[in-house]
Structure 1
């Protein structure tokens, strides 16, 4: 009997349209001869299953089921393709845990931890992982621009603490630019992080569970046409993503070891893609994405294909791994 797989997509954040692209790519590549695959749109106003004609069938939140042709359909596994809340921050996964449905992401606590940039940095620094100097600010806190500059220097990055896809991130080159950048970040989140600028080669490292082992994928070098790897650079072709990265064998060995260590100490499962910047050959950890983009053009699928893993194999492996966990 074929297993029923729900691909959850959409979400409650600014990343809805990116999630829809990722979810549809997963839907198109999963083996329909092996699985009954359903797209589940999760929005604040509705949770619905979409059929091939885009007809909607409401989800019963009591057990995450729906009625199709007068029969109740339940799911064996959920493929999580929601970037941001509630898929990437652990909320939805805690719900699946409560109703005993397996899913392709890490446990809900790990997802919540890694979605919070400050807490992730605190966790990895305890294990000796190098990071940028940072300041954390809650909305309503007194903002001392001089103290910020004294600690992190200029230029510096201002970013929402709980957001993805570079929404709300700014690079401030002057003291005068910091306050407007803070206001921009607060539009996305009530908590923000201000970090020192690290001058060096930026790389993106995918780490996944594959065939029962933790696997570091070929490394991607990020070369942005803009001032940094912002939304335009990520999604509107304003960057070069070079896989494998043009880094030395020493740099490669170091970042592979650090990326695997970070994945392990954070007790991750499923997909992850983390960013690092090299400073004097040492990789500095920036952040981790636990629901990275999954379109054909996205970085992690590019890395998988460079490793000889097709999208169909990548997505099926996520499901088989989840069902075994």
Structure 2
């Protein structure tokens, strides 16, 4: 008996995989910005722009086969340029917070921009999310987009000229893979991530019903300014225990918990139980109504879960839906916030001759 699968009927011929480039708009200085649409043979589609490396859209099926967007995004380039709450860009040089914008490296103190409650966040006032990246599309059954940017020495007052490459690949198995690479000519600090907001309902409802597993036995408590205290605290017996599948909304409003109050919900870094830097499963998100599942794999030591605590409905997405509080969730894979000021945290220092490498995969399916 043949073990080969039957030939699909003509109407089941899979869609053509590949990448298409279109003009997304122009920056105020007249430079063209492009939108790249990646499709695989299952029909999954991802759109990315080379302005800020934003993931503009991810389209996946629910359990009935219906396609919907599962990431938050705004309609036009002008909306992105105007500024969003980081709806899917590349974040750098340093994702998350650095206390008071200060760190000391090799005996020299650096003062970065203070752009969030007295602290530095997400690379500063003009971070990687506001840069026009050089784009190289890679066609094929696993289409990819390679983005490159060189951050000059002293940009946002970070030391060293940093050559950065970020590659998005849409894989055959419905996974979006993000590979980060960087080199420097002077000692510096690097902690890149992507800040996509996911909503697996297809923009039908908020994320409080999303069920989450995070393979982490510790998290980082913060002070009221959301700077880590330096403690790695056990999740056991706290609202931060997602070792078993738990709805986001189950404990997010437990204001008896100081950490929930400090983050206005979840806005904390979880420390993975597996401390290795191999690509391993970090989290799983399941939306029971649509049946959509997202698995997140990463080489990073932690992940910041943010539950859109500050969205207020004033921004409207491409679908015409107001983005209200807790309408999305972020899984920002990263080294720990404020690492340069905590010697007990994994180092974010990058030296000349070394190569920064990081990989994160968001894999989509249904159950």
Larger relative helix fraction: 1
Larger relative strand fraction: 2
Q: Please say whether Structure 1 and Structure 2 have the same fold, judged by a TM-score greater than 0.5.
A: no
